[in-house]
Structures are given as C-alpha cells and as structure tokens.
C-alpha cells in the first residue's frame, strides 16, 4: 500500500468516525493505530505504541489535573457561586449595568477557582438569570451573559486547556498561569464594554435603570464563604507566582484547603465529597485518554513526516512569524467552532509546533494566544458548551442565545487577539518579572 494512499485512508477514517459521532479520543486513537500499522507494520506498532501509552499516562503534568478538578468540584458542591453573586449584587447596587458587570466578575472569580466553563455557565444561568431579568434585561440576553461569564473559566487560571498545552509542549505550567493574567483581565474589560454597548433591554424597562430586586440580607456565612474564596485564590496562586511551591503542590494545597474549608463551614458532606472525587476522576480519565490518543496519532504523523511536509509548504511564512501566527489563529478559531476546546489543542499542537519552532515563535506567548482563541469556542456555534449549558438549564432556545454570545466572542477575538499579536508584553511581561 502506497504512503500516499495511507495518508488519505487515515484522514478518511478520522473524518468519517468524527462525522458518525465518535468521541475525539476514539477517532484519534483508531486513526493513529491504523496509520502506524499500515505505514510501519505490526512490529513497530507493538514496540512503540505501548511505550507511548505508558509514558504519556505517567507524565507529571497530567497529575496536576485531578488536583485542580477536585478543588473545583469541592467549591461547586459547596455552592460558593451563590455567595459570590450575592456579594457582587450588593456591591453593584440597584442599577442594571453594575449588576451585569457583577455577573461577569462572578464568572471570572468562579473561573479562578473552578476551571469548568460549562458548569460555571449553568450555575450562573440558574442564579443570575432571574435577577438580570428583573433588572430589565431580556431573558435571552440574561442567559447569554451567564454563558459569557462562565466561559472566562477557560482563560483564567487554573485553566485545564493551559495545563494540557503545557504538558504537550513542555512549557512551564506556572509560567503559563502567570502569563494568562493580562489577557484574562483585558478580556473581562472587553466583555464589560460590550455589555455597556450592546445590552438587550426589554422595552418597558428602557426608561429606568433601577432594578426591582429586593435586597436579601447577607449573613455571616455568605461573608465567610466570600472571604474563603479570596483566601484560597491568594494561597494557591500567590504561592505559585511567588515561587514558593510548584504548580502541582499548589493544586494539592488548594484541593485540601477547599475540602477542609467546605467541611468546616458545613457546606458539604460525605456524599458531596464522594461525588466530587467521582466527577474529578471521570474528567481526569477523559483528559488522559485524549492525550494518549493524541500521542498515538502523533506517532503516526512522525512516521508519515506530514508535519515536515506542512513545514515545507509554510516555509514562505516562516520568515514572517506574525503572519504565520495570525493564520494559525484563524485555523484554531475555526477548529474551535467545530471541535471541543481541549480536542483542538491536542489535535493541532503536534502539527503546528515544528512550524512555530522553526519560526522561533515564543511557545509561551503562542500558548496563551491559542488558548484564548480556543476558549471562544465555548461561546460560538456549533459546539458552544457554555452557551448550550446556560440555555439548557434555562429552557431557552440555544440558537437565540448564540446571538449575544457570538457577538461578544467576535469582538473579544478581534480586540484581545490583536492586542496580544501586536503587543506581546501583554503576555510575556509578567512571567519575566516574577520568579
């Protein structure tokens, strides 16, 4: 069988399996195994694939994932998002725009301690949707704003996407966390501007900016929970940024502190701990399987020398790194509209990394830029996990919710991505000045 036919056959295998609704990990794993077998024979398949699976599964970077997931699940089971929004609503006062800003900031704070975009969006939609409607926003816009706030969990550390990228490219995860702070803040500011400029208000509420929400008393438990979240963020990320502990050690501290804190405040019980451990294990297994499948597929790519062929085709752009990165950002953005965010990272990074290294592109800078573009897939059709999650729990047609979320995502893509492209210190300055 010719090598050219093998490439077409493996590509068709992957595309058909994906079209039939198979999981991305299954598509990658099957295509990789078939490709290695057809290209190099069964001996190479038995000799290399087993070692690839073992070494990939035992990568230190992947051991970080369940720690941050456990911390996130403990906080979600403890309903800290309710307390975060209550504090934010009280600080916002009885005006519409500050209440919308409080929703976005609540999503950002939840993202800083959870890393789950869809879970954050669903929780925000249930909690903030009715409050935003009372203030005068339409129901569709209120649900869309909850999805937008929830999507921030993918760019604000600890982002699972950033962790996977660091494990694949060997870029220090702690440096990636630090580098994502500037773009995350800029993204929040862009979302707030869009909220001010493109709000969808009900006609009967346009004449007044005052809400009709009755203030609920904020008890000591709410204040303690809010302060605990701030303390947890300071301990986990302050210790990383200060160079006191590694990312893995910070994750372990965060998971332990979240569990003990929620238990001490009687927010969770043994059943909640069991559910948090189970959910963390399920998500970790899914991510590890994805990375293993990507490693097997990458082995086929290395045999086929497809990355080298693509590198030769892209050689005219290697002398213009900015143009190369801009083209890759467009490719990643389109892929993020079709595939799940983590799958895009796992599928494309092994292919584009040789081009980036040949063009001497800073992999830390590119990682944050790529992660940001991929996270926009949480808001845009047809995948849009955050949008789907918020719309489903609110019983709103997802097609209508996609209108505001896609608008916000497009403006953020143009503004934030262009700023990172034209002014790299937005990403690189902070890691260079922190240990």
pLDDT digits (tens, 9 = 90+) for 192-243: 999 988 888 877 766 665 554 455 567 777 888 888 888 888 888 788 877 7
Domain around 42: 1-58
The span from the CA of 257 to the CA of 430, in Å, is: 27
How many domains is the chain built from? Answer: 2
Q: Which of 18, 37, 58 is the last residue of a domain?
A: 58
Mean pLDDT, rounded, for 4-29: 83
Contacts of 108 (CB under 8 A, 6+ apart): 149, 152, 156, 184, 188
Single out the residue in 9, 25, 58 at which a domain terminates.
58
Reported in sequence order, the residue ranges of 248-307 that DSSP labels E, i.e. its strands, are: none
Judging by beta carbons within 10 Å of its beta carbon (0-12, 13-18, 19+), is residue 307 exposed, middle or buried?
Answer: middle
1 confidence band (pLDDT: 50, 70, 90): low
Segment among 68-72, 89-93, 282-286, 297-301 with least mean pLDDT: 89-93
Structure tokens at 67: 């720690």
Clarify whether residues 2 and 145 are in a common domain.
Answer: no
Last residue of a domain, one of 19, 36, 58: 58
Q: Which of 46-50, 71-75, 122-126, 330-334 has the lowest mean pLDDT?
A: 46-50
For residues 137 and 18, membership in a common domain is answered with no
Cβ-based neighbours of 296, under 8 Å, separated by 6 or more: 28, 29, 32, 33, 36, 49, 52, 53
Scored b (16 or more CB within 10 A) or e, 216-232 reads eeeeeebeebbebbeeb
Note the pLDDT of residue 15. 83
Do 283 and 406 fall within a single domain?
yes
DSSP string, 357-382: HHTT--HHHHHHHHHHHHHGGGTSTT
In a shared domain, residues 284 and 258: yes
Q: Same domain, yes or no, for 85 and 24? A: no
| Same domain flag for 122 and 259 | yes
Nearest to 258 by CA among 240, 238, 276: 276
Round to whole Å and give the CA distance between 181 and 184. 5
C-alpha–C-alpha distance, residues 183 and 419, integer Å? 9
Instruction: Express each pLDDT in 316-364 by its tens digit.
Output: 778 888 888 888 888 888 877 777 777 788 888 888 888 888 888 999 9
pLDDT of residue 383: 72
Q: Residue 210 pairs with which residues in a beta bridge?
A: 95
The chain-wide mean pLDDT, for the chain, equals: 82
pLDDT tens-place string over residues 42-55: 777 766 666 777 77
Assess whether 47 and 94 both reside in one domain: no
Q: Report d(CA 74, CA 260) in Å as an integer.
A: 9
Quick one: which of 231, 296, 229 has its CA closest to 26?
296
Pull the structure tokens for residue 403: 């209108």
Distances (CA, A) of 52 to 102, 169, 279, 406: 46, 16, 26, 39
- Asked if residue 215 and residue 183 are part of one domain, the reply reads yes
Element (H, E) at 259: helix 247-264
64, 94: one domain? yes
pLDDT tops 60 at residue 115 = no
Q: What are the tens digits of pLDDT across the range 236-289?
A: 878 887 778 888 888 899 889 999 999 998 888 889 999 989 988 888 888 888
Rounded-to-integer distance, Cα 329 and Cα 322, Å? 10
């Amino acid at each position: 069988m010719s090598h050219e036919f093998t490439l077409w056959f493996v590509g068709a295998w992957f595309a058909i399996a994906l079209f039939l609704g198979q999981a991305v990990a299954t598509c990658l794993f099957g295509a990789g195994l078939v490709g290695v077998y057809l290209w190099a024979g069964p001996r190479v398949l038995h000799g290399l694939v087993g070692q690839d699976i073992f070494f990939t599964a035992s990568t230190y970077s992947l051991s970080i994932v369940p720690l941050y997931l456990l911390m996130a699940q403990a906080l979600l089971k403890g309903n800290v998002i309710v307390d975060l929004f209550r504090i934010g609503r009280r600080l916002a006062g009885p005006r519409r725009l500050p209440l919308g800003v409080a929703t976005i900031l609540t999503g950002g704070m939840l993202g800083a301690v959870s890393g789950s975009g869809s879970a954050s969006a669903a929780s925000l939609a249930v909690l903030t949707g009715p409050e935003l409607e009372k203030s005068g926003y339409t129901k569709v816009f209120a649900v869309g704003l909850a999805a937008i706030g929830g999507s921030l969990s993918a760019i604000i550390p600890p982002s699972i996407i950033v962790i996977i990228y660091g494990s694949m490219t060997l870029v220090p995860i702690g440096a990636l966390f630090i580098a994502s702070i500037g773009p995350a803040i800029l993204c929040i500011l862009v979302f707030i501007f869009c909220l001010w400029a493109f709000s969808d208000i009900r006609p009967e509420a346009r004449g007044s900016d005052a809400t009709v929400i009755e203030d609920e008393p904020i008890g000591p438990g709410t204040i303690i929970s809010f302060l605990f979240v701030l303390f947890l963020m300071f301990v986990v990320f302050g210790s990383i940024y200060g160079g006191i502990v590694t990312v893995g050690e910070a994750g372990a501290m965060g998971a332990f502190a979240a569990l003990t804190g929620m238990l001490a405040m009687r927010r969770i019980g043994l059943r909640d701990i069991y559910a948090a451990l189970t959910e963390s294990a399920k998500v970790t297994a899914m991510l590890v399987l994805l990375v293993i499948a990507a490693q097997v597929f990458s082995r086929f790519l290395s045999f086929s020398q497809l990355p080298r062929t693509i590198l030769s085709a892209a050689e005219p752009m290697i002398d213009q790194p900015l143009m190369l990165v801009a083209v890759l950002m467009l490719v990643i953005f389109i892929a993020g509209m079709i595939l799940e965010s983590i799958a895009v990272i796992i599928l494309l990074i092994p292919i584009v990394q040789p081009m980036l290294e040949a063009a001497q592109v800073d992999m830390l800078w590119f990682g944050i830029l790529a992660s940001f573009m991929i996270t926009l897939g949480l808001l845009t059709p047809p995948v849009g996990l955050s949008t789907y999650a918020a719309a489903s729990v609110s019983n709103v047609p997802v097609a209508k919710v996609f209108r505001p979320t896609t608008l916000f995502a497009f403006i953020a893509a143009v503004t934030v991505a262009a700023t990172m492209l034209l002014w790299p210190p937005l990403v690189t300055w902070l890691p260079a000045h922190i240990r």
